[in-house]
């Protein structure tokens, strides 16, 4: 297609930074939606797609579709959301007006860009997570998110088509050519990646059980709360390492206490 005019040959997010943004689709059911998400990504200059627990025929069909773009062929498929976002320092859950009891900060989509570009500018990796077509992200999925973004849809018809939701979010992230990305504020501080937080959560949970912190029936609720807490605290890699060290030491001490 001939192009002789380019208004936007620079984006809010420089090319290299857009490479550090992952689009993550959780359990998509419709191959057309996976294809549509991939197309929107290409339209707005993003290339990293992960699909969590895809319905197998759907996934194969989407990948092998005629004209399936390279980014779909390069897309990663993971068993669970934790794995898909393990390397990410900012995990953003998306939705419309469906959060019943928000447990994290909620940001309206028109205000998302500065948060994302700041994280990317300081070398972080961002995941933008989209739920399944029918019901969106579950409470469990949301517990892996540092913040939630809300697409401002109309109250009478809030639920968006998956491919359209991806397009709207990525458009928002690249629409504004004016403001350059903010200067890296906390460039020294490296935020702990999601996978490190999960490792830490596992060790803390082990310690909780070892000391009988709460009844067994409370363990799933505690695990959920702990995951949310660790994300809310914006721990650095160094914090995470030190807290991990302390809890491992605690566990060692308890396991060697002679009874």
Task: List the one residue from 80, 203, 244, 250 that touches a copy of itself (CB under 8 A).
Answer: 250
* Rounded Cα distance, 134 and 132, in Å: 6
Asked if residue 217 binds a copy of itself (CB under 8 A), the reply is no
Asked if residue 156 binds a copy of itself (CB under 8 A), the reply is yes
Task: List the one residue from 152, 218, 220, 221 that touches a copy of itself (CB under 8 A).
Answer: 152
Q: Which residues contact 58 (CB under 8 A, 6 or more apart)?
A: 28, 29, 30, 31, 34
Q: Which residues contact 46 (CB under 8 A, 6 or more apart)?
A: 18, 21, 23, 71, 170
Asked if residue 29 binds a copy of itself (CB under 8 A), the reply is no
Q: Are 119 and 17 in contact (CB under 8 A)?
A: no
Task: List the one residue from 115, 168, 199, 203 that touches a copy of itself (CB under 8 A).
Answer: 168
Task: List the one residue from 114, 158, 195, 202 that touches a copy of itself (CB under 8 A).
Answer: 158
In the beta sheet, which residues pair with residue 107? 149
Applying CB under 8 A, the span of 7-15, 20-28, 73-81, 123-131 interacting with a copy of itself comes to 7-15
Crossing angle of the two packed helices 112-121 and 162-174, in degrees rounded to 10: 70
Q: Is 10 exposed, middle or buried (0-12, 13-18, 19+ CB in 10 A)?
A: exposed
Site map (CB under 8 A) of a copy of itself, residues 83-122, x = contact = -------------xxxxx-xxxxxxxxxx-----------
Asked if residue 16 binds a copy of itself (CB under 8 A), the reply is no
Size of the site for a copy of itself (CB under 8 A): 84
Decide whether 54 or 136 has the Cβ nearer to a copy of itself: 136
Task: List the one residue from 172, 192, 193, 194 that touches a copy of itself (CB under 8 A).
Answer: 172
The DSSP line for 27-89 is S---HHHHHHHHHHHHHTT--EEEEES--HHHHHHHHHSTT--HHHHT-EEESSHHHHTTT-S
Residues between 51 and 90 with contacts to a copy of itself, criterion CB under 8 A: 69
Task: List the one residue from 23, 24, 26, 160 that touches a copy of itself (CB under 8 A).
Answer: 160
Measured CA distances, 202 to 13, 33, 85, 242 (Å): 35, 34, 16, 15
Q: How far is the CB of 122 from a copy of itself (least distance, A)?
A: 16
Asked if residue 186 binds a copy of itself (CB under 8 A), the reply is yes
Applying CB under 8 A, the span of 51-59, 73-81, 194-202, 229-237 interacting with a copy of itself comes to 229-237
* Rounded Cα distance, 129 and 95, in Å: 9
Q: How far is the CB of 74 from a copy of itself (least distance, A)?
A: 15
Q: How far is the CB of 88 from a copy of itself (least distance, A)?
A: 20
Q: Where are the alpha helices (DSSP H) in 122-159?
A: 139-142
Asked if residue 175 binds a copy of itself (CB under 8 A), the reply is yes
* Rounded Cα distance, 148 and 135, in Å: 16
């Amino acid at each position: 297609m001939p192009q002789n005019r380019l208004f936007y040959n620079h984006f809010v997010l420089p090319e290299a930074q857009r490479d550090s943004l992952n689009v993550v689709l959780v359990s998509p059911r419709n191959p057309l939606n996976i294809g549509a998400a991939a197309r929107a990504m290409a339209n707005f200059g993003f290339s990293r797609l992960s699909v969590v627990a895809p319905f197998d025929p759907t996934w194969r069909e989407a990948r092998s579709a005629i004209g399936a773009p390279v980014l779909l062929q390069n897309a990663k498929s993971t068993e669970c959301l934790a794995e898909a976002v393990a390397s990410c320092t900012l995990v953003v859950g998306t939705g419309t007006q469906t959060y019943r009891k928000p447990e994290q900060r909620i940001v309206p989509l028109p205000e998302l860009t500065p948060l994302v570009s700041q994280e990317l500018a300081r070398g972080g990796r961002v995941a933008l997570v989209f739920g399944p077509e029918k019901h969106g992200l579950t409470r469990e999925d949301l517990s892996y998110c540092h913040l939630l973004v809300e697409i401002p849809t109309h109250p009478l018809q809030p639920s968006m088509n998956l491919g359209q939701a991806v397009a709207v979010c990525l458009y928002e992230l690249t629409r504004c050519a004016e403001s350059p990305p903010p200067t890296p504020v906390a460039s020294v501080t490296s935020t702990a990646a999601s996978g490190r937080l999960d490792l830490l959560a596992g060790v803390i949970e082990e310690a909780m059980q070892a000391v009988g912190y709460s009844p067994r029936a409370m363990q799933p609720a505690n695990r959920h709360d702990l995951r949310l807490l660790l994300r809310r605290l914006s721990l650095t890699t160094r914090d995470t390492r030190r807290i991990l060290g302390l809890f491992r030491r605690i566990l060692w001490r308890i396991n060697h206490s002679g009874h």
